[in-house]
Amino acid sequence: MLAEAIKSGKIVVSQDNTPQIEIEAKNKKIKINALDKKLIKEVVASARESGTKGGVRESIQRSIGGIRTARNMQPVFKEIVEDLCREGVTITVSYKGNKVATIGSGANSKVTRLVTGTKGVEINSPTKLAEMTI
């Protein structure tokens, strides 16, 4: 369904007149290129700030709750990834033009398969992934 909805096109998301993210779709391939990590850092910081109220006990409880939520979301994530694979859709995430992760039919990683339970997720550059979010 995703491949049918998105035929081709390009979107650039800007913040303060500075391009932050480029999204390009063509031939069942969706390329997402983070040009600047400012927007990503703000989203991550906002999520952290919303969880910093309270004491140590509340912080630990939120962390455990976050792990449980992530574990509960894994079957949904896996289903989405497998749908992408069945449809022949590949999503590539890059940071400043360097490929960070591949999701969908173009991905194939034995290491990530152990963690995610699907062959449709590949971390191409763990260092760039960390750089993008820090």
DSSP letters, 54-75, are S-HHHHHHHHHHHHHHHHHHHH
Look at the block and give the residue holding tokens 């591949």. 102
Residue 110 has pLDDT above 70, yes or no: yes
pLDDT band at 117, cuts 50/70/90?
confident
Token reading at 81: 């990834």
- pLDDT of 13 higher than 80: yes
Better pLDDT: 28 or 131? 28
> According to the model, what pLDDT value does residue 76 have?
80
pTM: 0.73
Question: If you average pLDDT over residues 62-78, what whole number do you get?
Answer: 66
Which amino acid type is present at position 106? G
Flag whether pLDDT at 33 surpasses 90. Answer: yes
In the chain, where are the structural domains located? Answer: 2-49+77-133
